[in-house]
């Protein structure tokens, strides 16, 4: 599972001009399930995100996690994180999970965040979405479940 984590002051997502998800301070999470991912990977990544210490403490150091701050999460599916750009000018996406698996794991990831007490809003899987954010920092971090044993 690949996740692009962005610390935000606010973020929202629209589909067909309708606001479907909106948060204040917290994390915008662009999520892509990859071939071979399973529910355990989704749960593990949700825990990593919830515990990722990228919020400032009283001394101004990035030492607090989303679970410490009471911040929210906006989870948006983005299969293009699977892009393979090693050849040619057109990215390939064959390493992304099949749509049914991708949707199931995307939903599992969001539910796992909720189960950890994090207010979680979502986009709409497979939809053409318009995402707005006010990046805080900016802080942007790339997570890939394949990078950890």
DSSP for the chain, written as a single string? -EEEEEEEEEEEEEETTEEEEEESSEEEEEEE-BTT--HHHHHHHHHHHHH---EE-TTSSEEE-HHHHT-EEEEEE-GGGG-B-SSSSS-B-TTBPPHHHHHHHHHHHHHHHHHTT--EEE--TTS-EEEEEEEEEEEEEEEEGGG--
pLDDT value of position 147: 82
CATH number of domain containing 22: 3.50.80.10
Taking only the tens place, the pLDDT of each residue in 103-132 is 999 999 999 999 999 999 999 999 999 999
Would you place residue 11 in the very low, low, confident or very high pLDDT band (cuts 50, 70, 90)? very high
Catalytic residue (one of 6, 55, 79, 120): 79
Does residue 54 lie in a domain region? Answer: yes
Would residue 125 show up in a list of annotated catalytic residues for this protein? no
**Catalytic status, residue 79:** yes
- Banded pLDDT at 146 (limits 50, 70, 90): confident
Of the residues 78, 109, 122, 125, only one is catalytic, namely 78
pLDDT in tens, 21-62: 999 999 999 999 999 999 999 999 999 999 999 999 999 999
Q: Identify whether 85 is a catalytic site residue.
A: no
Number of domains observed in the structure of the chain: 1
């Amino acid at each position: 599972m690949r996740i692009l984590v962005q610390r935000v002051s606010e973020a929202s997502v629209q589909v067909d001009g309708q606001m479907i998800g909106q948060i204040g301070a917290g994390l915008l999470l662009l999520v892509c399930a990859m071939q071979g991912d399973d529910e355990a990977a989704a749960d593990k990544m949700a825990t990593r995100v919830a515990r990722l210490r990228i919020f400032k403490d009283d001394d101004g150091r990035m030492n607090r996690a989303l679970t410490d701050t009471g911040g929210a999460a906006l989870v948006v599916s983005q299969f293009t994180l699977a892009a393979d750009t090693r050849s040619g000018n057109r990215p390939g996406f064959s390493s992304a999970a099949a749509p049914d698996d991708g949707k199931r794991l995307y939903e599992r990831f969001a539910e796992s965040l909720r189960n950890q007490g994090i207010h979680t809003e979502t986009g709409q899987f497979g939809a053409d979405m318009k995402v707005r954010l006010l990046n805080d920092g900016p802080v942007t971090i790339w997570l890939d479940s394949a990078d950890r044993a």
